[in-house]
Chain A
Amino acid sequence: VRKGVTDDLTPFLPLPPAPLHIVLALNRGERHGYALMADVEELSGGVIRMGPGTLYGSIKKLLAQGLIEESDTRPDPTLDDRRRRYYRLTGLGQRVCQAELDRLSTLLERSGSAASARLLGGRP
Protein backbone atom coordinates (compact mmCIF):
# COMPACT_ATOMS: atom_id res chain seq x y z
CA VAL A 1 0.00 0.00 0.00
CA ARG A 2 1.35 3.38 -0.89
CA LYS A 3 1.93 5.40 2.23
CA GLY A 4 1.41 9.11 2.43
CA VAL A 5 -0.39 9.40 -0.91
CA THR A 6 -3.84 8.30 0.16
CA ASP A 7 -5.13 11.89 0.18
CA ASP A 8 -3.84 12.54 -3.30
CA LEU A 9 -5.55 10.13 -5.65
CA THR A 10 -3.92 11.36 -8.84
CA PRO A 11 -1.17 8.69 -8.81
CA PHE A 12 -3.91 6.08 -9.20
CA LEU A 13 -5.63 7.79 -12.10
CA PRO A 14 -6.57 7.09 -14.77
CA LEU A 15 -7.30 3.43 -14.14
CA PRO A 16 -6.56 1.10 -17.06
CA PRO A 17 -9.62 -0.62 -18.55
CA ALA A 18 -9.31 -4.00 -16.79
CA PRO A 19 -8.70 -2.62 -13.26
CA LEU A 20 -11.37 0.04 -13.83
CA HIS A 21 -14.00 -2.57 -14.62
CA ILE A 22 -12.93 -4.74 -11.69
CA VAL A 23 -13.18 -1.78 -9.33
CA LEU A 24 -16.60 -0.92 -10.74
CA ALA A 25 -17.77 -4.50 -10.27
CA LEU A 26 -16.49 -4.56 -6.70
CA ASN A 27 -18.27 -1.28 -6.09
CA ARG A 28 -21.44 -3.38 -6.21
CA GLY A 29 -20.23 -5.62 -3.41
CA GLU A 30 -17.87 -8.49 -2.64
CA ARG A 31 -17.16 -10.80 -5.53
CA HIS A 32 -15.10 -13.90 -6.27
CA GLY A 33 -13.19 -14.51 -9.51
CA TYR A 34 -15.89 -15.84 -11.80
CA ALA A 35 -18.48 -13.39 -10.48
CA LEU A 36 -16.06 -10.57 -11.26
CA MET A 37 -15.55 -11.82 -14.83
CA ALA A 38 -19.30 -12.09 -15.31
CA ASP A 39 -19.91 -8.63 -13.87
CA VAL A 40 -17.22 -7.04 -15.99
CA GLU A 41 -18.72 -8.58 -19.10
CA GLU A 42 -22.15 -7.33 -18.15
CA LEU A 43 -20.93 -3.86 -17.18
CA SER A 44 -19.07 -3.45 -20.46
CA GLY A 45 -21.97 -4.72 -22.52
CA GLY A 46 -19.94 -7.75 -23.57
CA VAL A 47 -17.07 -5.67 -24.94
CA ILE A 48 -14.60 -6.78 -22.26
CA ARG A 49 -14.46 -10.54 -21.75
CA MET A 50 -11.73 -11.12 -19.27
CA GLY A 51 -9.92 -14.41 -18.83
CA PRO A 52 -8.57 -15.67 -15.50
CA GLY A 53 -5.02 -14.52 -16.31
CA THR A 54 -5.96 -10.90 -16.97
CA LEU A 55 -8.33 -10.88 -14.03
CA TYR A 56 -5.81 -12.10 -11.48
CA GLY A 57 -3.00 -10.04 -12.98
CA SER A 58 -5.16 -6.97 -12.37
CA ILE A 59 -6.18 -8.20 -8.93
CA LYS A 60 -2.51 -8.60 -8.03
CA LYS A 61 -1.84 -4.97 -8.94
CA LEU A 62 -4.93 -3.68 -7.19
CA LEU A 63 -4.00 -5.61 -4.05
CA ALA A 64 -0.48 -4.17 -4.18
CA GLN A 65 -1.90 -0.66 -4.57
CA GLY A 66 -4.22 -1.20 -1.63
CA LEU A 67 -7.34 -0.52 -3.65
CA ILE A 68 -8.89 -3.91 -2.92
CA GLU A 69 -8.47 -6.52 -0.23
CA GLU A 70 -9.40 -10.10 0.36
CA SER A 71 -12.57 -10.59 2.30
CA ASP A 72 -12.76 -12.95 5.27
CA THR A 73 -16.49 -13.41 5.05
CA ARG A 74 -17.98 -16.06 2.82
CA PRO A 75 -21.65 -15.93 1.90
CA ASP A 76 -22.15 -19.67 2.28
CA PRO A 77 -19.04 -21.70 3.08
CA THR A 78 -20.90 -25.01 2.73
CA LEU A 79 -21.81 -24.33 -0.87
CA ASP A 80 -18.62 -22.64 -1.89
CA ASP A 81 -15.46 -24.25 -3.15
CA ARG A 82 -12.67 -23.62 -0.70
CA ARG A 83 -10.50 -22.29 -3.54
CA ARG A 84 -12.81 -19.34 -4.04
CA ARG A 85 -11.68 -16.11 -2.47
CA TYR A 86 -13.77 -12.99 -2.25
CA TYR A 87 -12.49 -9.50 -2.81
CA ARG A 88 -13.83 -6.11 -1.82
CA LEU A 89 -12.90 -2.48 -2.21
CA THR A 90 -10.89 -0.82 0.54
CA GLY A 91 -11.71 2.70 1.65
CA LEU A 92 -8.97 3.95 -0.63
CA GLY A 93 -10.37 1.85 -3.44
CA GLN A 94 -13.80 3.37 -3.01
CA ARG A 95 -12.36 6.87 -3.15
CA VAL A 96 -10.32 6.05 -6.23
CA CYS A 97 -13.38 4.51 -7.87
CA GLN A 98 -15.38 7.65 -7.17
CA ALA A 99 -12.57 9.89 -8.36
CA GLU A 100 -12.28 7.90 -11.60
CA LEU A 101 -16.02 8.10 -12.17
CA ASP A 102 -15.90 11.86 -11.57
CA ARG A 103 -13.00 12.17 -13.98
CA LEU A 104 -14.87 10.22 -16.64
CA SER A 105 -18.03 12.26 -16.08
CA THR A 106 -16.11 15.48 -16.51
CA LEU A 107 -14.52 14.10 -19.63
CA LEU A 108 -17.90 13.14 -21.02
CA GLU A 109 -19.38 16.52 -20.20
CA ARG A 110 -16.53 18.39 -21.86
CA SER A 111 -16.45 16.21 -24.92
CA GLY A 112 -20.25 16.32 -25.09
CA SER A 113 -20.37 20.11 -25.03
CA ALA A 114 -17.56 20.29 -27.57
CA ALA A 115 -19.44 17.95 -29.88
CA SER A 116 -22.66 19.93 -29.41
CA ALA A 117 -20.87 23.14 -30.23
CA ARG A 118 -19.49 21.59 -33.41
CA LEU A 119 -22.91 20.31 -34.43
CA LEU A 120 -24.37 23.76 -33.92
CA GLY A 121 -21.75 25.23 -36.21
CA GLY A 122 -19.58 26.85 -33.61
CA ARG A 123 -16.11 26.03 -32.53
CA PRO A 124 -15.33 24.38 -29.20
Chain B
Amino acid sequence: MRVLLVEDSDRLRHLIATALRRSGFAVDVACDGMTGLRSAENNDYDVIVLDLMLPALDGLSLLQRLRAAGRESHVLVVTARDTVEDRVRGLEAGADDYLIKPFALEELLARVQALARRRHGAKSPVVAVGDLRVDTSRRSVSRGGRTIDLTAREYALLEYLAVRQGAVVSRTEIEAHIYDDRVEPMSNVVDAAVYALRRKIDVPGAPSLIRTRRGMGYVLSAEPE
Protein backbone atom coordinates (compact mmCIF):
# COMPACT_ATOMS: atom_id res chain seq x y z
CA MET B 1 0.00 0.00 0.00
CA ARG B 2 1.29 3.41 -0.87
CA VAL B 3 0.91 6.32 1.50
CA LEU B 4 1.55 10.04 1.07
CA LEU B 5 2.57 11.82 4.25
CA VAL B 6 2.18 15.62 4.24
CA GLU B 7 3.65 17.06 7.42
CA ASP B 8 5.71 20.23 7.93
CA SER B 9 7.43 19.19 11.16
CA ASP B 10 10.71 17.59 10.09
CA ARG B 11 10.90 15.37 13.11
CA LEU B 12 7.30 14.15 12.94
CA ARG B 13 7.56 13.60 9.22
CA HIS B 14 10.65 11.49 9.64
CA LEU B 15 9.21 9.46 12.52
CA ILE B 16 5.83 8.78 10.92
CA ALA B 17 7.43 7.87 7.62
CA THR B 18 9.83 5.52 9.38
CA ALA B 19 7.01 3.82 11.25
CA LEU B 20 4.89 3.42 8.12
CA ARG B 21 7.77 2.05 6.05
CA ARG B 22 8.69 -0.40 8.77
CA SER B 23 5.07 -1.50 8.78
CA GLY B 24 5.23 -2.33 5.10
CA PHE B 25 3.84 0.80 3.52
CA ALA B 26 5.46 2.58 0.64
CA VAL B 27 5.68 6.15 1.83
CA ASP B 28 6.15 9.40 -0.04
CA VAL B 29 6.62 12.56 1.98
CA ALA B 30 5.87 16.24 1.43
CA CYS B 31 6.80 19.11 3.76
CA ASP B 32 4.30 21.67 2.54
CA GLY B 33 0.84 21.84 1.09
CA MET B 34 1.74 22.62 -2.51
CA THR B 35 4.25 19.77 -2.74
CA GLY B 36 1.72 17.45 -1.15
CA LEU B 37 -0.99 18.49 -3.61
CA ARG B 38 1.30 17.89 -6.58
CA SER B 39 2.24 14.44 -5.30
CA ALA B 40 -1.39 13.54 -4.62
CA GLU B 41 -2.45 14.69 -8.07
CA ASN B 42 0.33 12.78 -9.82
CA ASN B 43 0.06 9.48 -7.92
CA ASP B 44 -2.70 7.14 -6.89
CA TYR B 45 -2.14 6.85 -3.15
CA ASP B 46 -4.09 4.39 -1.06
CA VAL B 47 -3.94 6.68 1.95
CA ILE B 48 -2.85 10.27 2.49
CA VAL B 49 -1.79 11.25 5.99
CA LEU B 50 -2.36 14.98 6.09
CA ASP B 51 -1.46 17.68 8.59
CA LEU B 52 -3.76 20.71 8.48
CA MET B 53 -1.48 23.58 9.38
CA LEU B 54 0.91 23.55 6.47
CA PRO B 55 2.98 26.24 4.83
CA ALA B 56 2.29 27.28 1.23
CA LEU B 57 -1.14 25.60 1.16
CA ASP B 58 -3.08 24.59 4.26
CA GLY B 59 -4.32 21.02 4.64
CA LEU B 60 -8.02 21.83 4.27
CA SER B 61 -7.45 23.66 0.99
CA LEU B 62 -5.30 20.78 -0.23
CA LEU B 63 -8.08 18.36 0.64
CA GLN B 64 -10.75 20.42 -1.08
CA ARG B 65 -8.68 20.79 -4.22
CA LEU B 66 -7.89 17.08 -4.19
CA ARG B 67 -11.55 16.12 -3.94
CA ALA B 68 -12.46 18.72 -6.54
CA ALA B 69 -9.95 17.03 -8.87
CA GLY B 70 -11.78 13.73 -8.32
CA ARG B 71 -9.04 12.02 -6.35
CA GLU B 72 -10.48 9.22 -4.19
CA SER B 73 -7.48 8.48 -1.99
CA HIS B 74 -8.50 7.98 1.61
CA VAL B 75 -7.29 10.85 3.77
CA LEU B 76 -6.35 10.65 7.41
CA VAL B 77 -6.06 14.12 8.93
CA VAL B 78 -3.45 14.30 11.66
CA THR B 79 -3.47 17.63 13.46
CA ALA B 80 -3.16 19.43 16.77
CA ARG B 81 -6.52 21.12 16.21
CA ASP B 82 -8.87 19.30 18.53
CA THR B 83 -12.12 21.22 18.64
CA VAL B 84 -15.34 19.66 17.37
CA GLU B 85 -15.59 22.45 14.79
CA ASP B 86 -12.13 21.60 13.47
CA ARG B 87 -12.97 17.92 13.19
CA VAL B 88 -16.28 18.59 11.50
CA ARG B 89 -14.62 21.03 9.12
CA GLY B 90 -11.98 18.46 8.24
CA LEU B 91 -14.48 15.66 7.65
CA GLU B 92 -16.72 17.96 5.65
CA ALA B 93 -13.80 18.93 3.47
CA GLY B 94 -13.42 15.28 2.47
CA ALA B 95 -11.29 13.63 5.14
CA ASP B 96 -12.05 9.99 5.92
CA ASP B 97 -10.61 9.98 9.41
CA TYR B 98 -9.24 12.38 11.99
CA LEU B 99 -6.42 11.87 14.48
CA ILE B 100 -5.34 14.45 17.06
CA LYS B 101 -1.74 14.99 18.08
CA PRO B 102 -0.23 13.59 20.17
CA PHE B 103 -1.37 10.11 19.15
CA ALA B 104 -0.34 6.53 19.75
CA LEU B 105 1.76 5.03 16.98
CA GLU B 106 -0.31 1.83 16.95
CA GLU B 107 -3.47 3.85 16.50
CA LEU B 108 -1.99 5.72 13.57
CA LEU B 109 -0.88 2.48 11.92
CA ALA B 110 -4.25 0.83 12.56
CA ARG B 111 -6.15 3.76 11.08
CA VAL B 112 -3.90 3.90 8.02
CA GLN B 113 -4.31 0.17 7.62
CA ALA B 114 -8.10 0.39 7.93
CA LEU B 115 -8.27 3.19 5.39
CA ALA B 116 -6.06 1.23 3.00
CA ARG B 117 -8.36 -1.81 3.31
CA ARG B 118 -11.45 0.26 2.74
CA ARG B 119 -9.87 1.75 -0.35
CA HIS B 120 -10.18 -1.68 -1.96
CA GLY B 121 -13.57 -2.55 -0.48
CA ALA B 122 -12.33 -4.90 2.26
CA LYS B 123 -13.72 -4.46 5.74
CA SER B 124 -12.41 -7.50 7.55
CA PRO B 125 -8.79 -7.30 8.66
CA VAL B 126 -8.31 -10.92 7.60
CA VAL B 127 -8.33 -11.55 3.87
CA ALA B 128 -8.75 -15.21 2.86
CA VAL B 129 -7.66 -16.57 -0.49
CA GLY B 130 -8.44 -20.29 -0.33
CA ASP B 131 -6.53 -21.55 2.68
CA LEU B 132 -4.24 -18.52 2.58
CA ARG B 133 -4.92 -16.03 5.37
CA VAL B 134 -3.57 -12.49 5.28
CA ASP B 135 -4.15 -10.75 8.61
CA THR B 136 -3.74 -7.05 7.79
CA SER B 137 -4.06 -5.93 11.39
CA ARG B 138 -1.33 -8.24 12.69
CA ARG B 139 0.51 -8.15 9.40
CA SER B 140 0.88 -11.91 9.44
CA VAL B 141 0.35 -14.56 6.75
CA SER B 142 -0.50 -18.22 7.10
CA ARG B 143 -1.50 -21.02 4.80
CA GLY B 144 -3.19 -24.18 5.99
CA GLY B 145 -2.45 -23.08 9.55
CA ARG B 146 1.27 -22.71 8.82
CA THR B 147 2.71 -19.24 9.48
CA ILE B 148 4.72 -17.82 6.60
CA ASP B 149 7.53 -15.34 7.21
CA LEU B 150 7.63 -12.54 4.68
CA THR B 151 9.77 -9.46 4.27
CA ALA B 152 8.00 -6.10 4.50
CA ARG B 153 8.09 -5.67 0.74
CA GLU B 154 6.80 -9.22 0.15
CA TYR B 155 4.02 -8.70 2.64
CA ALA B 156 3.06 -5.39 1.01
CA LEU B 157 2.88 -7.12 -2.38
CA LEU B 158 0.80 -10.00 -1.05
CA GLU B 159 -1.54 -7.69 0.85
CA TYR B 160 -2.10 -5.56 -2.24
CA LEU B 161 -2.83 -8.63 -4.38
CA ALA B 162 -5.03 -10.10 -1.63
CA VAL B 163 -7.28 -7.05 -1.22
CA ARG B 164 -7.71 -7.09 -5.00
CA GLN B 165 -8.02 -10.86 -5.28
CA GLY B 166 -9.57 -12.13 -8.47
CA ALA B 167 -8.66 -8.93 -10.31
CA VAL B 168 -5.78 -8.49 -12.71
CA VAL B 169 -3.20 -6.18 -11.15
CA SER B 170 -0.76 -4.65 -13.57
CA ARG B 171 2.93 -4.28 -12.91
CA THR B 172 2.51 -0.50 -13.03
CA GLU B 173 -0.12 -0.64 -10.32
CA ILE B 174 2.09 -2.82 -8.21
CA GLU B 175 4.97 -0.45 -8.67
CA ALA B 176 2.76 2.51 -7.83
CA HIS B 177 1.38 0.97 -4.66
CA ILE B 178 4.31 -1.00 -3.35
CA TYR B 179 7.26 1.24 -4.10
CA ASP B 180 7.65 4.84 -2.99
CA ASP B 181 9.58 7.70 -4.54
CA ARG B 182 12.78 6.60 -2.86
CA VAL B 183 12.89 3.39 -4.88
CA GLU B 184 13.37 3.39 -8.61
CA PRO B 185 11.92 0.04 -9.59
CA MET B 186 13.89 -1.76 -12.24
CA SER B 187 11.96 -3.35 -15.04
CA ASN B 188 11.98 -6.81 -13.48
CA VAL B 189 11.74 -5.87 -9.83
CA VAL B 190 8.04 -6.75 -9.68
CA ASP B 191 8.58 -10.08 -11.40
CA ALA B 192 11.39 -10.88 -8.97
CA ALA B 193 9.21 -9.99 -6.01
CA VAL B 194 6.34 -12.11 -7.30
CA TYR B 195 8.71 -15.01 -7.86
CA ALA B 196 10.03 -14.74 -4.30
CA LEU B 197 6.50 -14.51 -2.93
CA ARG B 198 5.33 -17.57 -4.87
CA ARG B 199 8.17 -19.60 -3.40
CA LYS B 200 7.00 -18.75 0.11
CA ILE B 201 3.23 -19.06 -0.15
CA ASP B 202 2.78 -21.85 -2.72
CA VAL B 203 2.40 -25.48 -1.67
CA PRO B 204 4.47 -28.00 -3.59
CA GLY B 205 2.37 -29.94 -6.09
CA ALA B 206 -0.49 -27.49 -5.99
CA PRO B 207 -1.14 -24.73 -8.55
CA SER B 208 0.28 -21.32 -7.65
CA LEU B 209 -2.13 -18.84 -6.08
CA ILE B 210 -0.50 -16.03 -8.06
CA ARG B 211 -1.12 -16.41 -11.74
CA THR B 212 0.50 -14.47 -14.50
CA ARG B 213 -1.61 -12.83 -17.20
CA ARG B 214 0.86 -12.24 -19.96
CA GLY B 215 1.05 -8.61 -20.98
CA MET B 216 -1.47 -7.68 -18.32
CA GLY B 217 -0.21 -8.46 -14.86
CA TYR B 218 -0.97 -10.85 -12.01
CA VAL B 219 -4.04 -12.35 -10.38
CA LEU B 220 -4.23 -13.75 -6.84
CA SER B 221 -6.99 -16.31 -6.73
CA ALA B 222 -7.80 -19.73 -5.26
CA GLU B 223 -10.32 -20.48 -7.97
CA PRO B 224 -9.14 -22.98 -10.62
CA GLU B 225 -8.55 -21.49 -14.05
- Are A and B associated in one complex? no
